[in-house]
Copies of this chain bind each other. A is one copy, B any other.
Amino acid sequence: MTYLKNILNKVKNNEMSIEEASLLLRNNSYEDMGFAKLDHHRKIRTGFPEVVFCQGKTAQQVSNIVHKLAEHNSVVLATRATREQYNAVLQQTPNAVYHEAARVIEAGTSEIEDESRYILVVSAGTADIPVAEEAAVTARAMGSRVERLYDVGVAGIHRLLDNKDIIDKANVIIAVAGMEGALISVIGGLVDKPVVAVPTSIGYGASFQGLAALLSMLNTCAEGVAVVNIDNGFGAGYFAHMINK
């Protein structure tokens, strides 16, 4: 309550304008584009600007939103983007680049905040790479150093154990796996770092579009593991950066 009373006191004493107070009390502000309300203060509030989820949007809509956001932010991300949407973005935002494997558009860049701390993105199979890349590109765009270790599923566990060095030195690990997701439990048991698990929809039959991997990861016998939604590479990258920064 002190927070509130403090502001109100300042207004009363003319130490703060009504406009300023109004802004603070609303906490944030946004821009109404008709079909969307852009949340320009999100960066202040949560540390990173609003990210554009491209699926279901027209190429022109994506381009417009990216353009607007790029006016206020040094780096803008758009996920689940097609090349067609990227081409439209290029018209208004020429410095945008397209991470094909990750299906992510990135406009602007951010410096790596601390080279000594890195996020390691591990994938079980080659088919999990698009989701792993979405995680890696997201975390890098937010300012984290990112290393990759792909195709180290537990059916050939030596591939994983041989790379224990890069695993041990990581600050956070993002582990991406489909099928039965056993990679997460093995990694979780090896390290004393937080492991962010990403189930993918890779698999067939009773994998039920990633449900098997999701349940497997939620029930891991290893400690120090938390899980994001199926195929949610972006969410994992974002979460890992929050830990890493």
Contacts and interface: CB of A to CB of B under 8 A. Distances in A.
Interface of A: 1-5, 8-9, 11-12, 14, 18, 21-22, 25-30, 35-37, 39, 41-42, 45-48, 51, 53, 55-57, 124-127, 129, 150-159, 161-162, 164-165, 179-182, 184-186, 188-194, 196, 199, 201-208, 210-232, 235-236, 238-239, 242-243
B229 A206 contact: yes
A125 B61 CA distance: 14
A224 B205 contact: no
A39 B162 CA distance: 13
Q: How many copies does the complex hold?
A: 8
Contacts of A158: 26-30, 41
A245 B156 CA distance: 22
Nearest to A161: B26
Contact of A206 (B48, B184, B214, B236): B214
A238 B214 CA distance: 20
Interface centre among A2, A152, A186, A224 (most CB of B within 10 A): A224
13 contacts: A3-B164, A4-B22, A27-B158, A36-B151, A155-B221, A157-B186, A180-B184, A182-B186, A204-B230, A205-B210, A212-B218, A215-B215, A227-B227
A156 B39 contact: yes
Given A45-B156, A155-B221, 15 more contacts: A4-B22, A4-B25, A35-B151, A155-B185, A155-B222, A157-B157, A180-B217, A180-B219, A182-B184, A182-B185, A182-B216, A194-B242, A205-B210, A215-B215, A226-B227
